[in-house]
Amino acid sequence: MVRPQAAGPPATLMTMRGKLEGLNSPRAARHTFIWPALLVVLFLAIFPLIGSLFLALSRVRFVQGGFDISFTGLTNFQILFTGSQKTHVLGSLQQPTPLGWLVFLVGAAIIAFAFLRYLRGGGVHLTGLVLRAAGGLLLLGFLWFMVQSLLSEGGRPGTIMVTFIYAFVGTAATYLLGLGLAILTSQRLAGERLFRIIFLLPLTITPVGIAYMFRMITDTQRGPFAPLWSFAGLSDFAPLGDPWGARIAVMIGDVWQWTPFMFIVLLAALESRDMDVEEAGLVDGARKSQILRYITLPALIPVSATVILIRMIEAFKIIDLPNILTNGGPGTATESLTLQSFIDWRGFNLGQSSAIAYTLLVIVTIVALAYATTVVRKAQASA
Distance CA 291, CA 274 (A): 13
**Model confidence, pTM:** 0.86
Residue of higher predicted confidence among 184 and 2: 184
Burial of 302 by CB count in 10 Å (0-12 exposed, 13-18 middle, 19+ buried)?
middle
Buried (b) or exposed (e) across 254-271, using 16+ Cβ within 10 A? bbbbbbbbbbbbbbebbe
Cis omega before residue 330 (within 30°)? yes
User: Rounded CA gap, 93 and 380, in Å?
Assistant: 39
What confidence tens digit (pLDDT) does each residue in 242-298 have?
A: 899 899 999 999 999 999 999 999 988 888 877 778 778 878 788 888 888 888 888
Per residue in 294-327, pLDDT (tens digit) is: 888 888 888 898 899 999 999 999 999 999 998 8
Q: Which fold has domain 158-382?
A: MetI-like fold (1.10.3720)
Mean pLDDT for all residues in the chain? 85
Listed in sequence order, the residues at least 6 apart from 310 whose beta carbon sits closer than 8 Å to its beta carbon are none
Q: What is the pLDDT of residues 191-237, one digit of tens each?
A: 777 888 888 888 888 888 888 888 888 888 888 888 888 888 877 78
Tell me: the pLDDT tens digits for 113-171?
A: 988 888 887 777 888 888 888 889 999 999 999 999 999 988 899 999 999 999 999 99
